[in-house]
Amino acid sequence: MAPRTPKDPETKPAKAPKPARPAKAKPAADAKGKPVLTVVEAAAPETRAATVRLKDLVDSVAGTTGGRKAEVKATVEATLAALGEALATGKSLAVPPLGKLRVVKTKGPALTLKLRLADGAKAAGLALAEDGEDG
């Protein structure tokens, strides 16, 4: 193996200088010196959707139904367990406010699901015609 030779510092290419950082804009202030809020619209919406956790779901259901959180939590957990069990056995779900959910592919403990969202009157659980209207 050949011995290492030191590099000549004059043969190294010069590094390009870093671009200068733009100055931070100071927030606008009113006559009293208090900051004024400025509304700026985002160029593009965030691509990552927020996650609804069990606590969020329980809080939402408890707020909607007026039930106690402890009771609502037990009901929501039992409902989710029943839905998970049905999907794990390959059954399709037809849940009117949400839509129709079916298992497309299973690979070990992971399931690939397809959800067809309910639309319009079906999603709200409304009948298309009143009782006795259809002739």
Q: How confident is the model at residue 81, as a pLDDT? A: 95
Q: CB–CB of 112/104 below 8 Å? A: yes
pLDDT averaged over consecutive 10-residue blocks of the chain (135 residues)?
65 65 60 63 64 94 94 95 92 90 89 85 54 55
Q: What is the pLDDT of residue 79?
A: 94
Residue 134's pLDDT is what? 53
What is the end-to-end Cα distance of the chain in Å, rounded? 98
**pTM, to two decimals:** 0.52
**Residue at 103: amino acid letter:** V
d(CA 100, CA 51): 21
